[in-house]
Amino acid sequence: MDRGPALQALLPAELAALAGIELVDARRLVSCIHNRGGLPARCPPTIRRVALDAVRRAGELPTLEVIERRASELDPFVKYAFRTPDGREVETVRIPLEKPGRFSICVSSQIGCALGCAFCATGQMGLQRNLETWEIVEQLRLVRAELPEGTRAHGVVFQGMGEPLANLERVLAAIRVFSEPSAQSIDRRNITVCTAGLPAGILRLAREAPDVRLGLSLGDVREGRREGLMPIERAHPLSEVLDAVAEHARTTRSAPMWAYTMLAGINDDDDAAHALAATLREFTDRVGVRPRLSLIPWNRVEGTPFERSADEALAAFRVALRERGVGSIVRYSGGSDVDAACGQLARSQPLSQLGRGRLHQ
Ligand code: SF4
């Protein structure tokens, strides 16, 4: 049975056209959907009854079933598991920001992922399917509805399950809803799309969503090494990806975030730091924009051969970078006791049985 369009995925102008109502009513109804939990049962005085009825007839408000919400005991992360209408499972993480009362919501864009990064739990699942626009939007809508009073969703990061640039059409549509003032009203500069490196998608993101930030997962920058961690290197070598990232930076004038997942004995020695520093400096000199470098201590993923870099190795790596003129931040990756940390989202089992899973790194 055709359920009709999912109303939470529509902008006011789209809703107005679909239902044949005035834009002012559409805006108010979009606001009801996103900020008051759904369409009102009775028509409030600000909205015409005929408009509400028309919207009810025009589409549906499907939702995701919350099957688990787990608060970390180590830190104030909350990991959500949702079930889609076709019985699949997807994960979302609420991440507290440094400034109290603000959260970033880490959303998934696919169920599983085809890119198969060796250090990532989602990558071990393979791709099950793309998420629909409404399924991406709904993750934020549901998590935001449960925020403690007086707090707010400050940003969104596409760093959950899946490669967002492989589902870009829907990701762009979701970004439009996220940033629409009458819907989720998230400042686009606080939305980050993280990719393992799909050049065409990076260029399209620069054209169609230039004020959204770009994150790039590196794994390793040394020739012959990156491929072992990130098979996408075979299709799109890092040099090609960095050309696209350079074009993105020139077009948007915003600095990309480079994410470097630290793996003991694999990419955390002096040689790796040297190569990373050289790559970053070459990029900065060539493009005139300096990437922000985030080092991510790897979180254990069951069934993979990796180990997390020791704290001493991480500190030495940072010193080696600094000696070559490159600053870095260590991304605090919390929630590891509920598999909410980077690299740990994988809904192959219930959270209660999940040993150590996977987030897009
Ligand atoms: S790190 Fe990202 S792109 Fe790589 S397998 Fe995991 S979800 Fe996919």
- Is residue 278's pLDDT more than 80? yes
- 174 in the same domain as 31: no
Rounded-to-integer distance, Cα 229 and Cα 219, Å:
6
In a domain, 1, yes or no: no
Count of domains forming the chain: 2
- Phi and psi for 91 in degrees, rounded to 5? -120, 150
By most ligand atoms within 8 Å of CB, the mutation choice from 90, 120, 193, 217 for ligand 1 is: 120
How far, in Å, from the CA of 231 to the mean position of ligand 1?
A: 10
- Does residue 338 have its Cβ closer than 6 Å to ligand 1? no
Q: Whose CA is closest to 360, among 212, 259, 222?
A: 259
- Is residue 361's pLDDT more than 90? no
**Which tokens belong to 134?**
């409404």
- 172 in the same domain as 133: yes
The residue whose CA is least distant from atom 1 of ligand 1 is 360
Q: What is residue 172's predicted lDDT score, i.e. its pLDDT?
A: 98
In a domain, 296, yes or no: yes
- 215 in the same domain as 158: yes
* 307-316: pLDDT as tens digits: 999 999 999 9
Rounded-to-integer distance, Cα 279 and Cα 277, Å:
5
CATH of the domain at 98: 3.20.20.70
- 83 in the same domain as 54: no
In a domain, 319, yes or no: yes
- 195 in the same domain as 280: yes
- Which atom in ligand 1 lies closest to the alpha carbon of residue 230? 4
* The residue to which tokens 């069934």 are assigned: 303
In a domain, 345, yes or no: yes
- Does residue 301 have its Cβ closer than 6 Å to ligand 1? no
- Which atom in ligand 1 lies closest to the alpha carbon of residue 121? 6
Per-residue pLDDT averaged across 214-232, rounded? 95
Question: Which residue, 21, 37, 58, sits at the end of a domain?
Answer: 58
- 339 in the same domain as 247: yes
* The residue to which tokens 């890119």 are assigned: 115
- Is residue 113's pLDDT more than 80? yes
By most ligand atoms within 8 Å of CB, the mutation choice from 109, 110, 113 for ligand 1 is: 113
Average pLDDT, the chain: 91
CA 341 remoteness from chain centre: 13
By most ligand atoms within 8 Å of CB, the mutation choice from 220, 306, 360 for ligand 1 is: 360
- Name the burial class of residue 311, with classes exposed (0-12), middle (13-18) and buried (19+) by CB atoms within 10 angstroms of its CB: exposed
- 269 in the same domain as 253: yes
In a domain, 273, yes or no: yes
Phi-psi region of 304 (alpha: psi -120 to 50; beta: other; left: phi over 0): beta
**Which tokens belong to 142?**
């549901």
In a domain, 270, yes or no: yes
Task: Please list, in sequence order, all residues whose beta carbon lies within 8 angstroms of the beta carbon of residue 352, skipping any fewer than 6 positions away.
Answer: 68
Q: What is residue 8's predicted lDDT score, i.e. its pLDDT?
A: 98
Q: What is residue 44's predicted lDDT score, i.e. its pLDDT?
A: 86
pLDDT band at 77 (very low <50, low <70, confident <90, very high): confident
Please list the active-site residues: 91, 342
**DSSP annotation of 213:** E
Lowest mean pLDDT among 83-92, 159-168, 348-357: 348-357
**Which tokens belong to 66?**
């919350």
How far, in Å, from the CA of 118 to the mean position of ligand 1?
A: 9
- Does residue 115 have its Cβ closer than 6 Å to ligand 1? yes
- 129 in the same domain as 208: yes
* 63-72: pLDDT as tens digits: 999 999 998 7
- Which atom in ligand 1 lies closest to the alpha carbon of residue 110? 7
- 130 in the same domain as 32: no
- 120 in the same domain as 242: yes
How far, in Å, from the CA of 230 to the mean position of ligand 1?
A: 8
In a domain, 95, yes or no: yes
In a domain, 181, yes or no: yes
CA 42 remoteness from chain centre: 36
Q: Please report, for residues 36, 43, 239, 308, the alpha-carbon distance to residue 80 in angstroms, rounded to integers and kept in the order given.
A: 21, 32, 36, 25
- 280 in the same domain as 240: yes
- Which atom in ligand 1 lies closest to the alpha carbon of residue 120? 6
- Is residue 348's pLDDT more than 80? no
Question: Which residue, 34, 58, 82, sits at the end of a domain?
Answer: 58
How far, in Å, from the CA of 81 to the mean position of ligand 1?
A: 18
pLDDT band at 333 (very low <50, low <70, confident <90, very high): low
Domain that holds residue 200: 65-353
- 69 in the same domain as 48: no
- Is residue 347's pLDDT more than 90? no
